[in-house]
Structure 1
Amino acid sequence: MTADLVVDVLGLRVLIEPGDALDAAEHERLRAAWSGAISADAATTPDLTVSFNAEASFDQGMEQLTVDVTLAALEALRGRALMFHAAGVADAEGRVVAFVGPSGRGKTTLSRALGRRFGYVSDETIAADEGRSVHPYRKPLSVVRKDLPKEQVSPVDAGLLPVPAVPLRLDGLVLIDRDPELDAPQLSTVPLAEALPELVTQMSYLRDHPAPLQSIARLCDAVGGVRMLRYPDAETVPAIMPEILGAEPAASEWHPLALPAASGPYGVAQARDAIRSDDYLIVMVESELKVLDGIAPVIWQAAADGADLDGIIAAVVDAHGEPPTGAARQIVEDAVDELVVAGVLSRD
């Protein structure tokens, strides 16, 4: 009889049920691939159960299992943690840097390069609670193979280091972009209004938080702002880690905007959250992020305050003055129409 395979996933204990179709060798391959995440807690009842499906082939089942475990954990944590599609490593003090990027951006390759020098946390998802605590997801590394399912390689077999025996805490958010034309890695600070569109598209269930934009903005502040890392090759990144970990805080100034209980002729009720940062108004409409600039922030705020079209025009002229060319009314009407089409405003 094969022992239960229970793995630690983002602070949850997940039971993997292999079913009856696997032979002894396949059972061992499954356990070996997930060896970096096997739970040391043998007593607590698992939080989730995920079944292994090998109907097509064992390798396809292994690739799909990684997806299924990830999705089940993300669903269970919705609204409870801020979850990034990111690779992550931790230093000896437990400081975690999350390297955020979409599929195909090189997170697994980056995990292999960094994980030989720092504790491997995940190559898939980094989740942080309000206190920035991070729980590892030491899943197999999903390595691309030409015309074959991704190979699931255990962290041990990949030569990656264990996480330090200290509490893990998110210390850095880094957007990544691999550019083979570069001579060396380049690290820069990204203003909040520029960073949020990139971050939000790489987050799971952000809209399930009561104030989603304020939650992510506070986290960005707490880690000292968001950085962009452009690098030619993953092997060049470990050398810049001291700069990433030692970067001076560069948080952006921002403040929340109250959402009206009732609106005037132009509604903003579909907005889930809104903040102002520098000259930008950032609003979340359902699960989409909209960054407004120019006269659009004034239009949105006037609409939120219940103004009609004449009131919106007056607010724009008061904030920006008369336009150097064209009529203010026509310019504002056109801008209002664009915001309605974009779903930022509605005509009530």
Structure 2
Amino acid sequence: MTAAPTTVAATRLEVAGHSVLLSFGPGLETVAEEIDALWSHLRAADDDGATPQIRLDYALAGGDLPAGTVPLPARLEASYTVSGHLTREVIRRLIGTRLLLHAGAVAHPELGTLVLVGASGAGKSTASSLLGRAGAYLTDELTIITPGSFALTPYPKPVSKHDPELGAKRDLALGDLGLRPADEVAVAAPAMVLLLERIRDEDEAGEGASVMRVPLSEALTRIVSQTSSLWEVPGGLAELAALLDSVGGALEVRYREAAELEELLRHLPPAEHVETVEIAPWPGDAAAGEDAAPAPGTIAAAPFRQALAVESGLFVLGEHGAIHLPGLAGLVWDLLADAGPLTVDQLEQLVVEEIGEHPESTALVRGTVEELVDHGWARQG
């Protein structure tokens, strides 16, 4: 029988509204000390004996591990591993109730609350740590937004950066970077949503830094991939679109050095506002509990979770991904989602009724159907 875990050190935290206990077994004393220092700004005041909402018990990796423990090597990058575990646990408890973006966020005294979205390597952590020095640092990795009000719940974890000497990421204390966390449980709604794009001299020599508005369909395409379980939030896609509309549209920020960002953000293009219409799933959709294949000879929209009519077509969200369907593709998909399974001839007739006759309507509709089927957004009986 595996022995119960032995604890040599423990840290209690209050993180994004959750009580947390991190415990460490023998051999992890140094790691425990580093974790306690890195997360000291979120340390819980007292141990009232209540069961923590999140508990992670760590044991030194190797050999037989006590039941219920998480293996952890005693390496310099261990703190980054722990913060990753904690982030996943917070996300797991908030799925379906918040917009969860893989993004940095800061509360700037002049520019307002900024959300910084970008793929890995776009510089979110560096940008968050630099912009946050003027005000309050909110997070470098997980931005938590309440639907409706768009209030932002801080998750001021230690800043994670790549260490060239280590060859891996490690966590850095906020104090060492001149940062302070926000005092409030929730801060003001975002004033800007930024899509960060680093200009790399070897690829784009001579290109200057810039700020430009991004069309809603493109912004959704880029941001949805940086969310966690958006389809689990009721009306989550519409909420994300409403968030972007509330800030006048997402901003693509192309830059070389994070030090450029503050001045760039003082000179913004005019706000842009776009109306959207939410599309309810068809009753035969998997979201309504049915997933039967369409009858032979018919075409049906594939099961989807949420969809929006946007300025240039449709934007559809499913568990397997998201897609912008412009022009004829959007019309064909919308007709299928609205009417249910149709034959190609019935579908072509509806298309003609919507947009008029075309000498190649049959070929165009069939080609569009084939593309939708090939990409998994329609099903053929």
- Between stretches 65-74 and 292-301, larger displacement belongs to 292-301
SS at match of 1:69: helix
- Kept in 2: contact 1:117–1:238 (CA 8 A): no
Give the superposition deviation at 1:267. Answer: 1.9
2:132 is aligned, of 115, 127, 130, to 115
TM-aligned CA distance change 1:138 to 1:88, over 3 Å? same
Structure 2 unmatched ranges of 5 or more: 1-6, 62-72, 286-293
Q: Aligned residue for 1:138?
A: 156
> Which amino acid is 1:312 matched to?
L
The separation in 1 between residues aligned to 2:185 and 2:127, in whole angstroms, is 23
Give the superposition deviation at 1:243. Answer: 4.5
- Kept in 2: contact 1:120–1:163 (CA 8 A): yes
- Give aligned pairs, total: 343
TM-aligned CA distance change 1:7 to 1:51, over 3 Å? same
Q: Aligned residue for 1:223?
A: 247
Q: Aligned residue for 1:341?
A: 374
Structure 1 unmatched ranges of 5 or more: none
SS at match of 2:161: strand
Q: CA offsets per residue over residues 102-148 of structure 1, 9 Å max, x none?
A: 22211111122112212111111101012212221111111212343
RCO comparison, higher one (Cα < 8 Å, 6+): 1
> Which amino acid is 1:250 matched to?
E
- Between stretches 277-286 and 216-225, larger displacement belongs to 216-225
1:179 is aligned, of 196, 199, 203, to 199
- Between stretches 235-244 and 186-195, larger displacement belongs to 235-244
- Kept in 1: contact 2:130–2:259 (CA 8 A): yes
The separation in 2 between residues aligned to 1:92 and 1:50, in whole angstroms, is 36
Give the superposition deviation at 1:311. Answer: 2.2
Q: Does 1:124 align with 2:141?
A: yes
- Kept in 2: contact 1:89–1:119 (CA 8 A): yes
Q: Aligned residue for 1:239?
A: 263
1:28 is aligned, of 19, 30, 33, to 33
Aligned-residue sequence identity (percent) comes to 29
The separation in 2 between residues aligned to 1:126 and 1:109, in whole angstroms, is 16
Give the superposition deviation at 1:176. Answer: 0.7
- Kept in 1: contact 2:302–2:377 (CA 8 A): no
The separation in 2 between residues aligned to 1:346 and 1:18, in whole angstroms, is 51
Q: CA offsets per residue over residues 22-43 of structure 1, 9 Å max, x none?
A: 23x5432221122233244754
SS at match of 1:237: helix
TM-aligned CA distance change 1:53 to 1:240, over 3 Å? farther
The separation in 2 between residues aligned to 1:328 and 1:183, in whole angstroms, is 43
Q: Aligned residue for 2:22?
A: 16
> Which amino acid is 1:138 matched to?
P
Instruction: Report the aligned-residue RMSD.
Output: 2.6
Give the superposition deviation at 1:328. Answer: 1.7
Q: CA offsets per residue over residues 38-58 of structure 1, 9 Å max, x none?
A: 244754653211234542333
> Which amino acid is 1:144 matched to?
H
> Which amino acid is 1:32 matched to?
A
SS at match of 2:134: coil
TM-aligned CA distance change 1:269 to 1:336, over 3 Å? closer
Q: Aligned residue for 1:310?
A: 345
SS at match of 1:49: strand
Q: CA offsets per residue over residues 53-96 of structure 1, 9 Å max, x none?
A: 54233323222111101111111111111011111101349942
- Between stretches 251-260 and 175-184, larger displacement belongs to 175-184
